[in-house]
Amino acid sequence: MSKLVTIYGGSGFVGRYVARRLALAGWRVRVAVRRPNEALFVRTYGVVGQVEPIACNIRDDVSVRAAMAGADAVVNCVGILAERGKNRFDAVQSEGAERVARHAADLGIARLVQISAIGADMDAESDYARSKGEGEAAVLKHVPDAVILRPSIIFGPEDEFFNRFGAMTRFGPALPVVGANTRFQPVFVDDIAHAAELAVTGAAAPGIYELGGPEQVTFRGLMRRMLKVIQRRRMVLNIPMPLAKVMAFGFDLLQTLTLGLFHNTMLTRDQVRNLHRDNVVAPGAKGFDELGIEPTPMATVLPEYLWRFRPSGQYEAIKDSARNLRHN
């Protein structure tokens, strides 16, 4: 019988790519998510019955343990970018990671992969980075031979970065950003999934890997790169940090006053704190080289999904061709 892997958050942005890779490698895949009815698409990643979504809440001990029963390996992809309701950074990224690792150790599951983030640090000012750091420490406490993957900002067809800013270009001549000079090392989502696959199959040595793409680019540079792909001219407007803090405080306050009816997806105070620091692979850190993976450049992927933000969408190439014919 083929081996079984449980992927917490296996229908999310990163998790679905991990699930697809492991299914293609012949594993039975259990996708543990809060709303399995919204994750039925993962069944198409394998043959009938090979990939199954099941109900699980990473804040609940019983469901977390039940989801990994009989598993040979576990991958935890659960994480949040902003807090909402009971999904707080501590509850999800610190306590949730500890819960997964504790039950994996208790059930004798030796292979555990934790998706963390570059900048994870228990002493960080940012709650996001601090909770990621606490989650890593808890994982290593219970499963010392775990593999921890720390990606920089992730890009891919379902990302919340380039898609978000691409949509913003439709509404004005300027593209506002916070921390325009902060450096990132964008990494393709399937490269992270490849690293997770190597860890699950035992081809990657235990330890922490920082995963960044082949280029280090400032926030402003990334926006200019995106604008070139979508063929739009916009001014990249840097919002000064003092003003960004005031704006973020207002958005956070509005979410609190409306009891969560307004969900702050614009800018949070914690995100502003994160943008003070570069998000690149640390010198000397283990990374793709040690895994034998050549990271994918942005130029080979961004045009494949950002075309929809061009002025004429999928027809932009046809219009360009028509203009060339007229000029000839």
Summarised one tens digit per residue, pLDDT across range 110-167 is 899 999 999 999 999 999 999 999 999 999 999 999 999 999 999 999 999 999 999 9
The predicted pLDDT at position 223 comes to 98
Q: How confident is the model at residue 313 (pLDDT cuts 50, 70, 90)?
A: confident
**Would 305 be classed as within a structural domain?**
no
**pLDDT tens digits for range 156-190:** 999 999 999 999 999 999 999 999 999 999 999 99
**Would 93 be classed as within a structural domain?**
yes
The domain that holds 25 is classified in CATH as 3.40.50.720
**Would 23 be classed as within a structural domain?**
yes
**Would 148 be classed as within a structural domain?**
yes
Find the domain containing 140 and state its range: 4-157+185-215+278-296
**pLDDT tens digits for range 212-245:** 999 999 999 999 999 999 999 999 999 999 999 9
**Would 323 be classed as within a structural domain?**
no
Q: What percent of the chain has pLDDT over 90?
A: 91
H helix runs in the chain, sequence order: 15-24, 61-67, 89, 95-106, 127-142, 162-168, 189-201, 219-230, 241-257, 269-274, 288-291, 302-306, 316-327
**Would 41 be classed as within a structural domain?**
yes
First and final C-alpha spacing in the chain: 64
The predicted pLDDT at position 317 comes to 64
Half-sphere exposure in the Cβ direction for 274 (13 Å, CA): 25
pTM of this prediction?
A: 0.94
* pLDDT over 70 (residue 327): no
Q: How confident is the model at residue 321 (pLDDT cuts 50, 70, 90)?
A: low
Our count of domains for the chain comes to 1
**Would 246 be classed as within a structural domain?**
no
Helix, strand, coil share (%) of the chain residues, nearest 5: 45, 15, 40
**pLDDT tens digits for range 266-289:** 999 999 999 999 999 999 999 999
